[in-house]
Amino acid sequence: MDDARSRLLIHGASGRMGRSLLSLVAEHPGLHLVAAVANAPRADLGALAVLRPAHIGQAPAFDVVIDFSAPAAIPALAQACAARGAALVSGTTGLDASALAALDQAALQVPVLWAANFSLGVALLAALARQAAAAVPDWDCEIIETHHRRKQDAPSGTALRLGEAIAAGREQDLAAVARHGREGAHAVRVAGEIGFHAVRGGDVVGDHQILLAGEAEVIELTHRAASREVFARGALKAAAWLAGRAPGRYVIEDVLGLRPR
């Protein structure tokens, strides 16, 4: 094994994102997969150590974890990473207060990076949206997101993240200016609001569009994910970047050097 590579454990290997990570990790020169945690047996992983969630303490030495699992699994995972001195990259969504607190606690001892979307393109889109919104603060702003028919939450976490970036660029409180959909006889747009619209259908992985509309001109910023591989590749890049860094909370923008100053 190349000693320069960080030893990786994939947590949630039986899910869709876990399977994508397993299929792509060999392509990443900075990572060496040493173990996987899955809810179901994985006969296709050969000699790789495959553990059930309750047995993560039996995993071989690892430097960084990529997690796409369930909110209930986060406290134990965060504690295990802190005990092992391993970095934690998590894309598990729907976290409750106990899971968020567990990430904060682990970050006192190890580097922790959580993101709702690991697409590097979305991170760049958010940075561009913040800059554009600040440049034209009086233009109308709408966010339209499209996902597959099985997606349960709306608007998407990514749409909300884009809304937060726009609100930050305009020094607004998103909760105070967000408007979700329009219908009826009193749907006139209110100045300063940020509109959200959700579309569901087919097997769309994820499309996000930002409209900034001024007088006689419109700017459109769009990102389309053609495959879930974009999220897996982003998480792998984040893991290689995060391993060995100082304890603390990080965001995906840090990986690209895009964190707002």
CB 242 within 8 Å of CB 106: no
φ/ψ of 145, rounded to 5, equals: -125, 140
Residue 208 falls in the annotated catalytic set: no
Written as one letter, the residue type at 28 is H
Count CA within 13 A, CB hemisphere, residue 40.
7
Residue 77 makes CB contacts below 8 A (sequence gap 6+) with 11, 56, 65, 67, 69, 88, 90
First to last CA, the chain: 39
Q: Are 112 and 87 in contact (CB under 8 A)?
A: yes
What's the rounded Cα separation, in Å, for the pair 80 and 57?
7
Element (H, E) at 181: none
| Cα separation, 121 vs 155, whole angstroms | 19
The Cα 216–Cα 158 span in angstroms is 28
Residue at 121: amino acid letter = G
**Strand pairing partners for 6?**
31
CB 194 within 8 A of CB 166: yes
Residue corresponding to tokens 């007088």: 215
Choose the catalytic residue: 11, 28, 32, 147: 147
Annotation marks residue 237 as catalytic: no
Active site residues: 147, 151
